[in-house]
Structure 1
Amino acid sequence: MTTSTRTVPNVNAAAIATFFVFGMNGLVFASWAARIPAVTEALSLTSGQMGSLLLCTAVGSLLALPTAGWVVGRIGTANTVRTAGAVAAAAGVGIAVALMAASVPVMAVSLFFFGIGIGLWDVAQNIEGADVEHRLRRTIMPQFHAAFSGGAFVGALIGAGLSHLGVGLPEHLLVIAGIALVLALTAPRYFLPHAPVVEVSDGGTDVKRGPSAWRDGRTLLIGVVVLGATLTEGAGNDWIAKAAVDGLGTSEGGGALLFALFVTGMTLMRFLGGKVIDKFGRVAVLRASMAAAAVGLVLFVLADNVVLAGAGATLWGVGAALAFPMGMSAAADDRKHAAARVSVVSTIGYVAFLAGPPLLGYLGDHTGIHNALLAIGAPILVALLLAGVAKPLPATQEK
């Protein structure tokens, strides 16, 4: 990466701005996720049909994610976040309109662009976070992801409260879209400057870094670990509320509160995660995380009352908390290639994060979404077995 001449206070300002950008991303996402049951009911959809709509979000993001590194290279992380925030806000307005008109096609198109906005936004903020982490020379990526979880927690509580008060989802989303747009346009002004990163060779320079990152074996294996691990987070984000309503017979507000417990577990663990990782190491923490996610998942699914389900959802969230930020830090170990490799791992991880939950919806049509969640035990096991690849590089390879 290019060397910044900014002072420590400037880097700290970038860290604070990045923290708020992560938080707003989580708030926007949870404002949608916590009220999926309301959307399902308003549009009279089955779990499988709702899964198809969620797949629209996944398709949008999966089209945007592979190009995110190129976009950041062209316009920088700040302008990428601004652009992505504007797209996500416009899509939020479209979702509100679709609900008011009870239009599934408008909803599908809006969710497609929502996926594009969220995908671009997420990769850009992770690249910025990796850069800030390197400049500060301490582990802070989990705290950035804690901000995302904290934003999601606030979004889930808002969703539960507004649902209890009978406030419509369209009005809810319109307000969130406005707030997101303002923050996405203003906070990135404090980001670190990003010049195009070049690799110097004997014959000159080469700016085509993407292909080399996609051919790097360690980066791809980290991506596989993150792919399996983030499926646990994505499934929880999209289906805990609906599974609680269908499997336990809770109200929509009760489902949203169980989702809030899941997010609470993630948030607390991410705030503590930096110190835990520094003490025990990435590999040990990643393995323990996957084990906790598996136990929490099984407890949530097999619980016959809300108290046990809440305990399972919380433990599930604790287990899902650190895998993605550890993957980002591992991808960024080699500073020279950090931006490209963070982009690659983000892309691979979000295949599971975005495409996995819709597939669970299809499975849920046959088994019930509550029992369908047990299917994510397999990718959790894969992540557990491959966790060793996240071991930090020797210092000589980080330069």
Structure 2
Amino acid sequence: MDTALTRTQLVRWRAAIFTIFFVTGLGFASWASRLPAVKADLGINDLQLGVLLFVSGAASIVGLSLANIIVARWGARRGMFVTIITFAAGGLVAGLGVQFLQSYAVVCVAMVLMGIGMSATDVMMNVEAAAVEQSFEKTLMPLFHAFFSLGTVAGAGIGIAMAALNVGVAWHLWGAAALVLLAGLFSLTAVPTREIVHDDPTTKVSRRDRFAELLSVWRDPRTYAIGAIMLGMAFAEGSANDWLTIAMVDGHGETQTTGAVALTVFSVAMTVFRILGGPLVDRIGRVWTLRVLSIAAGVGLITFILAPNLPVAFIGIALWGAGASLGFPLGMSAAADDPKKAAASVSAAATIGYLAFLCGPPVLGWISHQIGILPTLWIIVALIAMSGLASGAAKPIAGSKVGAGHH
């Protein structure tokens, strides 16, 4: 049985997971922000750069699968020691391959390490975040995801400064990797060993039972209904990250600068609503929050697609960002309602959501090549509607301490 933690231990645990979310976002954005320099230093074309991104995406899918096994075998806390080191090692190898060896093959290896390390850490930090949330008995998951968003903003900002100052890719990525490694591993020292996330080596549950539990959640219809909520909103978020700038330039005929501003508006709206989301959920409940925000996201995206001018387009983008902000974190929160299945359920939900993140953009790219980017976005409107219709699945189960509302 898990022993009760003191208030100080709970606060340190929460701060530790906030930190891991933040530095993971920072590490990811550090690499993404230097892609133009990576392309120039390696002397590669867009197709070869696309292959690098595909390798990273494929490795991330492997990482998702490994995360489930690691959590069942060793627990989330011990697992993150390995996956954070793997992620940081990817940044170190990437810097070496780009700037000093100028080797495409070495950078491919780095993409494998970063992809596996990032996605596996992502699953496990969500498992821990769900356990923190249940311990505090209030909705915290949106705030954890806001810290990831803030990390990506910080990473992108540092990347802009590094590029402007002509700092080499290696020195930038090595600095980011060192920060991820030191902050990540130091934070894990404040994470308690908890049976609920399979960390307690003295627990009587056999590993065979843990793997059986891992598989059993895939037979639960609620897993797939929560997956539908997360799938729609992951597409809504991921499509903006990858295609909003293109839609502004190619679809609405705006400049590249305006496209960058549009993505910033989307990111700010999403981050703000993630910061504000917890109290809203605790007031009106998880289900009604998801329903209202799915309507906001759908209306916002339709407004953007049909926008007759730039101000209307920006209003649509802000609604789209705000509406898409909570689907993913609240799906994670719903998956963690049953403490006995929390680790397995959050792992399953994360897998469904991240597959949408990874597979969505290339699929949309192929479709937009056939019919154009703005018509393609109607597919996302349909997926948002599906997410809204599935929102009832996020209703807290009996005994859950978060998400019911009226606090």
Question: For residue 207 of structure 1, what is the aligned residue in structure 2?
Answer: 210
Contact 2:19 2:184 in 1 (8 A): no
Contact 1:332 1:338 in 2 (8 A): yes
Question: For residue 123 of structure 2, what is the aligned residue in structure 1?
Answer: 123
Question: For residue 71 of structure 1, what is the aligned residue in structure 2?
Answer: 70
Question: For residue 157 of structure 2, what is the aligned residue in structure 1?
Answer: 157
Partners of 1:214 and 1:334 lie apart in 2 by 15
Question: For residue 345 of structure 2, what is the aligned residue in structure 1?
Answer: 341
Which of 361, 364, 385 aligns to 1:357? It is 361
User: RMSD across aligned C-alpha pairs, in angstroms?
Assistant: 3.3
Question: For residue 278 of structure 1, what is the aligned residue in structure 2?
Answer: 282
Shift of 1:221: 1.5
Letter aligned with residue 206 of structure 1? D
Question: For residue 325 of structure 1, what is the aligned residue in structure 2?
Answer: 329
| Residue deviations 1:112-160 (CA, integer Å, cap 9, x gap) | 3222111111111111111111111111111111111111222233334
Question: For residue 82 of structure 2, what is the aligned residue in structure 1?
Answer: 83
TM-score, length of structure 2 as denominator length = 0.84
Partners of 1:306 and 1:95 lie apart in 2 by 39
Question: For residue 30 of structure 1, what is the aligned residue in structure 2?
Answer: 29
Letter aligned with residue 186 of structure 1? F
Contact 2:71 2:343 in 1 (8 A): no
Q: 4+ residue runs of structure 1 moved beyond 6 angstroms?
A: 197-201
| Residue deviations 1:161-209 (CA, integer Å, cap 9, x gap) | 44455555554333212211111221111112134389999xxx93331
Q: In structure 1, the residue corresponding to 2:75 is in which secondary structure?
A: helix
Partners of 2:152 and 2:45 lie apart in 1 by 25
Partners of 1:162 and 1:129 lie apart in 2 by 32
Partners of 1:396 and 1:167 lie apart in 2 by 50
Question: For residue 148 of structure 1, what is the aligned residue in structure 2?
Answer: 148
Contact 2:134 2:401 in 1 (8 A): no
Letter aligned with residue 53 of structure 2? L
TM-score, length of structure 1 as denominator length = 0.85
Contact 1:61 1:116 in 2 (8 A): yes
| Residue deviations 1:237-258 (CA, integer Å, cap 9, x gap) | 334455556665645x765554
Q: How does 1:123-202 map to 2 (within 5 A)?
A: 123-164=123-164, 167=167, 169-195=169-195, 196=198
Residues 26 and 246 (structure 1), Cα distance of their counterparts in 2 relative to 1, 3 Å cut: farther
Shift of 1:270: 0.9
Question: For residue 4 of structure 1, what is the aligned residue in structure 2?
Answer: 3
Question: For residue 13 of structure 2, what is the aligned residue in structure 1?
Answer: 14
Which of 357, 377, 380 aligns to 1:376? It is 380
Shift of 1:38: 6.0
Which of 369, 390, 398 aligns to 2:394? It is 390
Question: For residue 113 of structure 2, what is the aligned residue in structure 1?
Answer: 113
Shift of 1:372: 4.5
Residues 94 and 297 (structure 1), Cα distance of their counterparts in 2 relative to 1, 3 Å cut: farther
Contact 1:200 1:206 in 2 (8 A): no
Deviates more, 1:233-242 or 1:379-388: 233-242
Partners of 1:99 and 1:249 lie apart in 2 by 33
Partners of 1:368 and 1:164 lie apart in 2 by 34
Deviates more, 1:26-35 or 1:102-111: 102-111
Task: Quote the sequence identity (%).
Answer: 39
Partners of 1:104 and 1:257 lie apart in 2 by 32
Partners of 2:247 and 2:103 lie apart in 1 by 24
Partners of 1:44 and 1:301 lie apart in 2 by 34
Partners of 1:165 and 1:372 lie apart in 2 by 38
Question: For residue 405 of structure 2, what is the aligned residue in structure 1?
Answer: none
Contact 2:298 2:320 in 1 (8 A): yes
Deviates more, 1:191-200 or 1:132-141: 191-200
Shift of 1:282: 1.4
Unpaired segments ≥5 residues, structure 1:
none
Q: In structure 2, the residue corresponding to 1:190 is in which secondary structure?
A: coil
Letter aligned with residue 207 of structure 1? R
Partners of 1:311 and 1:103 lie apart in 2 by 44
Partners of 2:53 and 2:243 lie apart in 1 by 11
Shift of 1:6: 2.4
Deviates more, 1:339-348 or 1:154-163: 154-163
Partners of 2:261 and 2:150 lie apart in 1 by 14
Deviates more, 1:313-322 or 1:119-128: 313-322
| Residue deviations 1:203-239 (CA, integer Å, cap 9, x gap) | xx93331111111111222112212211222222334
Letter aligned with residue 150 of structure 1? L
Which of 231, 234, 237 aligns to 1:230? It is 234
Q: In structure 2, the residue corresponding to 1:58 is in which secondary structure?
A: helix
Letter aligned with residue 357 of structure 2? F
Contact 1:286 1:384 in 2 (8 A): yes
Question: For residue 57 of structure 2, what is the aligned residue in structure 1?
Answer: 58
Shift of 1:84: 1.5
Partners of 1:31 and 1:243 lie apart in 2 by 24
